[in-house]
């Protein structure tokens, strides 16, 4: 069975490392106050008796600004865990540690924790109230933590349990001690949440990768759009969108590579369908004709052509990104030629003509193809 990972975060000195040692039943993580006992880098611990690994982190400084470095180290760990071969470092449960003796939870504390784990929006969170030495204060502390998490939209959705713990016997005075408590409850709660957490982790990683791919894909659409604005600006009036075929083929192939779609005959047919719908189809021809015949446009013909060409390539690129996203996610396949044809033609329909036509009327005086393509990209990606 897959062993999940618990990420332990919280302000410096709240007792994260002490808690980890108590859970593992051995002193592996360094603990203490001041310079020597503080945790300086992320470390992962495990033993045979516990079905999850535990990641100790660098404690946050209480202020949002000062916490930046420690936050970055958690985010970097999360990003790295998205890579192939790093599956066993992904986060499946988060312990957000707050100190029971501090009696106050500053909004910054919650904000910093949320920022550190923003890559894991669906991973379950357990709020651990460390140093819960005072039994009478526990109820009140649980309410306080509950309310503080409620103020944060993202974390309030992920919060599954609030558990007060004493990780190590604490000497209250000469003859009174606070014994360890809550540690086995925390282990049980974590075990219960692990299967769900491992699934959530996979979902979050998938979404993260999809977001990254979308950013890269939009980058290649931007390049192709700029290229199209240059190609379109030639003084010869282009008869139809077919002049853009090579550009569109290159653009769509790049997007398919970003989504890691297998390069075979079915992909070629899929790309052909998009290009056909985006160049020589009735819809594409009608869109070009409608835009070229808009009355009252004062811009030079070459600028109008450049703008139309760029807009078509941007629209086709945007709909291709959506198409390949669905293929990558498994909702559609490269055999769905009718579907992708409709999707592509849909991106050049009346609303495309209306949107581009309106922008065309406003570009008076702008000649630079780079500025034109920037306006176009705003139109399609804002
Ligand atoms: N007696 C007792 N002491 C605790 C407990 N939890 C934390 N401490 C003490 O609090 C101090 C800080 O604890 P650490 O576990 O090092 O805190 P940390 O959150 O790992 O701190 P950083 O690594 O700086 O982020 C240490 O001196 C611990 O001994 C506890 O449950 N009982
Ligand atoms: Mg520590």
pLDDT above 90 covers a percentage of the chain that reads 70
Please report, for the chain, the start and end positions of each structural domain, with discontinuous segments joined by +: 4-181, 209-381
Read off the pLDDT band of 231 (50, 70, 90). Answer: confident
* Digit-coded pLDDT (tens) for 119-131: 999 999 999 999 9
What residues pack around ion ligand 2 (CB closer than 5 A)? Answer: 16-17, 39
Distance 32 CA to ligand 1 centre (A): 6
Residue 238 has pLDDT above 60, yes or no: no
Q: In the predicted model, what is the mean pLDDT of the chain?
A: 91
Distance 236 CA to ligand 2 centre (A): 69
Closest-approaching ligand to the CA atom of 70: 1
Distance 166 CA to ligand 1 centre (A): 10
Q: Which CATH architecture fits 4-181?
A: 3-Layer(aba) Sandwich (3.40)
Distance 273 CA to ligand 2 centre (A): 57
Do residues 170 and 133 touch, judged by C-beta distance below 8 A? yes
Strands 170-173, 43-45: pairing is: unpaired
Distance 12 CA to ligand 2 centre (A): 7
* Digit-coded pLDDT (tens) for 162-187: 999 999 999 988 888 998 999 999 99
Q: Which atom of ligand 1 is nearest to the CA of 30?
A: 16
Beta strands in the chain (DSSP E): 4-10, 43-45, 52-56, 93-99, 125-130, 159-164, 170-173, 176-178
- Average pLDDT rounded to a whole number, residues 285-304: 82
Q: Which atom of ligand 1 is nearest to the CA of 169?
A: 1
The count of residues in the chain is: 382
Instruction: Look up the pTM and report it.
Output: 0.83
Distances (CA, A) of 36 to 21, 33, 110, 132, 266: 17, 7, 26, 24, 61
* Nearest residue (CA) to ligand 1, atom 7: 15
* Nearest residue (CA) to ligand 1, atom 32: 168
Distance 170 CA to ligand 1 centre (A): 11
Residue the block writes with tokens 């699934």: 199
The distance from CA 97 to its chain's CA centroid, rounded to whole angstroms, is: 24
* Nearest residue (CA) to ligand 1, atom 11: 32
Read off the pLDDT band of 118 (50, 70, 90). Answer: very high
Give the long-range contacts of residues 361-365, CB within 8 A, separation 24 or more: 361/294, 361/296, 361/297, 363/299, 363/303, 363/307, 364/298, 364/299, 365/299
Between CA 152 and CA 66 the distance in angstroms is 20
Q: Identify the pLDDT of residue 181.
A: 94
Ligand 1: residues whose CB is within 6 Å? Answer: 12-18, 31-33, 37-39, 59, 130-131, 166-168, 170
Q: Which atom of ligand 1 is nearest to the CA of 56?
A: 20
Distance 239 CA to ligand 2 centre (A): 69
Between CA 180 and CA 310 the distance in angstroms is 67
DSSP codes, 214-239: HHHHHHHHHHHHHHHHHHHTSSSPPS
* Nearest residue (CA) to ligand 1, atom 9: 15
Question: Which residues lie closer than 8 Å to 263 by C-beta, 6 or more apart?
Answer: 256, 257
Q: Identify the pLDDT of residue 327.
A: 97
Distance 127 CA to ligand 2 centre (A): 17
Q: Which atom of ligand 1 is nearest to the CA of 10?
A: 19
Look up residue 309 and give its DSSP letter.
H
* Site to substitute for ligand 1 among 17, 67, 179, most atoms within 8 A of C-beta: 17
Do residues 357 and 202 touch, judged by C-beta distance below 8 A? no
Residue 335 has pLDDT above 60, yes or no: yes
Closest-approaching ligand to the CA atom of 20: 1
Q: Identify the pLDDT of residue 341.
A: 97
Of 29-43, 145-159, 317-331, the poorest mean pLDDT is in 29-43
């Amino acid at each position: 069975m897959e062993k999940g990972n618990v990420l332990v975060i919280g302000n410096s000195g709240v007792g994260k490392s002490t808690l980890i040692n108590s859970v593992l039943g051995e002193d592996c993580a360094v603990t203490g106050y001041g310079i020597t006992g503080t945790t300086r880098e992320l470390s992962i611990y495990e033993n045979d008796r516990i079905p999850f690994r535990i990641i100790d982190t660098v404690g946050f400084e209480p202020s949002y600004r000062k916490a930046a470095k420690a936050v970055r180290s958690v985010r970097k760990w999360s990003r790295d865990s998205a890579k192939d071969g790093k599956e066993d470092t992904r986060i499946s449960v988060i312990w957000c540690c707050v100190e029971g003796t501090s009696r106050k939870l500053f909004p910054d504390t919650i904000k910093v924790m949320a920022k550190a784990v923003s890559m894991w929006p669906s991973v379950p969170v357990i709020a651990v109230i460390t140093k819960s030495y005072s039994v009478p204060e526990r109820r009140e502390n649980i309410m306080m933590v509950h309310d503080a998490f409620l103020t944060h939209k993202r974390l309030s959705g992920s919060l599954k349990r609030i558990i007060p713990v004493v990780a190590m016997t604490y000497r209250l005075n000469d003859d009174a001690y606070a014994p360890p408590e809550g540690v086995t409850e925390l282990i049980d709660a974590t075990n219960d949440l692990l299967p769900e957490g491992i699934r959530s982790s996979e979902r979050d990683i998938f979404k993260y990768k999809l977001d990254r791919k979308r950013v890269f894909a939009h980058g290649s659409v931007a390049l192709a759009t700029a290229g199209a604005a240059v190609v379109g600006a030639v003084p010869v009036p282009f008869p139809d969108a077919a002049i853009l075929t090579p550009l569109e083929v290159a653009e769509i192939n790049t997007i398919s590579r970003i989504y890691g779609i297998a390069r075979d005959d079915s992909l070629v047919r899929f790309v052909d369908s998009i290009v056909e719908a985006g160049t020589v189809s009735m819809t594409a021809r009608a869109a070009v004709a409608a835009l070229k015949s808009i009355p009252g446009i004062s811009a030079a013909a070459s600028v109008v052509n450049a703008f139309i060409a760029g807009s078509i390539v941007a629209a086709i690129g945007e709909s291709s990104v959506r198409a390949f996203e669905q293929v990558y996610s498994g909702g559609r396949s490269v055999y769905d030629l009718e579907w992708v044809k409709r999707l592509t033609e849909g991106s050049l329909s009346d609303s495309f003509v209306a949107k581009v036509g309106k922008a065309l009327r406003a570009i008076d005086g702008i000649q630079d193809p780079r500025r034109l393509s920037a306006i176009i990209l705003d139109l399609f990606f804002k």
